Protein backbone atom coordinates (compact mmCIF):
# COMPACT_ATOMS: atom_id res chain seq x y z
CA UNK A 1 0.00 0.00 0.00
CA UNK A 2 1.32 3.46 -0.85
CA UNK A 3 0.69 6.82 0.74
CA UNK A 4 0.43 10.02 -1.28
CA UNK A 5 -0.05 13.63 -0.35
CA UNK A 6 -2.70 15.30 -2.46
CA UNK A 7 -3.50 18.97 -2.84
CA UNK A 8 -7.12 19.71 -3.75
CA UNK A 9 -8.99 22.93 -4.27
CA UNK A 10 -11.11 23.58 -1.19
CA UNK A 11 -14.35 23.31 -3.19
CA UNK A 12 -13.42 19.84 -4.51
CA UNK A 13 -12.34 18.71 -1.05
CA UNK A 14 -15.65 19.89 0.37
CA UNK A 15 -17.60 18.05 -2.35
CA UNK A 16 -15.57 14.88 -1.77
CA UNK A 17 -16.10 15.11 1.98
CA UNK A 18 -19.87 15.53 1.52
CA UNK A 19 -20.11 12.70 -0.99
CA UNK A 20 -18.04 10.37 1.17
CA UNK A 21 -20.31 11.12 4.13
CA UNK A 22 -23.41 10.50 2.01
CA UNK A 23 -21.98 7.20 0.73
CA UNK A 24 -20.83 6.24 4.25
CA UNK A 25 -17.21 5.75 3.18
CA UNK A 26 -13.99 7.52 3.99
CA UNK A 27 -12.59 10.17 1.67
CA UNK A 28 -9.69 7.77 1.12
CA UNK A 29 -12.07 5.05 -0.08
CA UNK A 30 -13.95 7.53 -2.27
CA UNK A 31 -10.77 8.81 -3.94
CA UNK A 32 -9.41 5.27 -4.36
CA UNK A 33 -12.64 4.13 -6.02
CA UNK A 34 -12.81 7.20 -8.27
CA UNK A 35 -9.21 6.72 -9.37
CA UNK A 36 -9.75 3.00 -9.96
CA UNK A 37 -12.80 3.76 -12.13
CA UNK A 38 -10.86 6.31 -14.18
CA UNK A 39 -7.89 3.96 -14.66
CA UNK A 40 -10.27 1.18 -15.75
CA UNK A 41 -12.09 3.46 -18.19
CA UNK A 42 -8.86 4.66 -19.79
CA UNK A 43 -7.57 1.08 -19.94
CA UNK A 44 -10.75 -0.03 -21.69
CA UNK A 45 -10.39 2.83 -24.16
CA UNK A 46 -6.82 1.77 -24.97
CA UNK A 47 -7.90 -1.86 -25.31
CA UNK A 48 -10.70 -0.97 -27.72
CA UNK A 49 -8.37 1.20 -29.79
CA UNK A 50 -5.94 -1.72 -30.11
CA UNK A 51 -8.75 -4.10 -31.07
CA UNK A 52 -10.02 -1.61 -33.66
CA UNK A 53 -6.59 -1.51 -35.29
CA UNK A 54 -6.86 -5.27 -35.93
CA UNK A 55 -10.31 -4.95 -37.54
CA UNK A 56 -10.95 -5.26 -41.25
CA UNK A 57 -13.88 -5.30 -43.63
CA UNK A 58 -13.05 -8.90 -44.58
CA UNK A 59 -13.22 -10.03 -40.93
CA UNK A 60 -16.55 -8.24 -40.49
CA UNK A 61 -18.01 -9.88 -43.58
CA UNK A 62 -16.76 -13.31 -42.47
CA UNK A 63 -18.41 -12.88 -39.06
CA UNK A 64 -21.65 -11.54 -40.54
CA UNK A 65 -21.85 -14.53 -42.91
CA UNK A 66 -22.31 -16.72 -39.83
CA UNK A 67 -25.41 -14.81 -38.69
CA UNK A 68 -28.72 -16.47 -39.52
CA UNK A 69 -30.85 -14.55 -42.02
CA UNK A 70 -34.34 -14.10 -40.56
CA UNK A 71 -36.71 -11.28 -39.70
CA UNK A 72 -36.30 -9.86 -36.19
CA UNK A 73 -39.17 -10.04 -33.69
CA UNK A 74 -41.50 -7.03 -33.78
CA UNK A 75 -40.09 -5.65 -30.50
CA UNK A 76 -36.58 -5.76 -31.97
CA UNK A 77 -37.23 -3.90 -35.23
CA UNK A 78 -36.01 -0.37 -35.76
- Tally Cβ neighbours within 10 Å of residue 65: 8
pTM of the entire structure? 0.60
| Structure confidence by residue, pLDDT tens digits, 50-71 | 999 999 999 999 999 999 888 8
| Structure confidence by residue, pLDDT tens digits, 10-47 | 999 999 999 999 999 999 999 999 999 999 999 999 99
Residue 1 has pLDDT above 90, yes or no: no
Per the CB < 8 A criterion, the answer to whether 20 and 30 are in contact is: yes
Predicted pLDDT at 38: 95
What is the domain partition of the chain in residue ranges? 10-65
Predicted pLDDT at 69: 87
Predicted pLDDT at 51: 92
Return all residues near 38 (Cβ < 8 A) that are at least 6 apart.
none
Amino acid sequence: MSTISLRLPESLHKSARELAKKEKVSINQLVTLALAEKVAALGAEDYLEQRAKRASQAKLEKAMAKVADFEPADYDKL
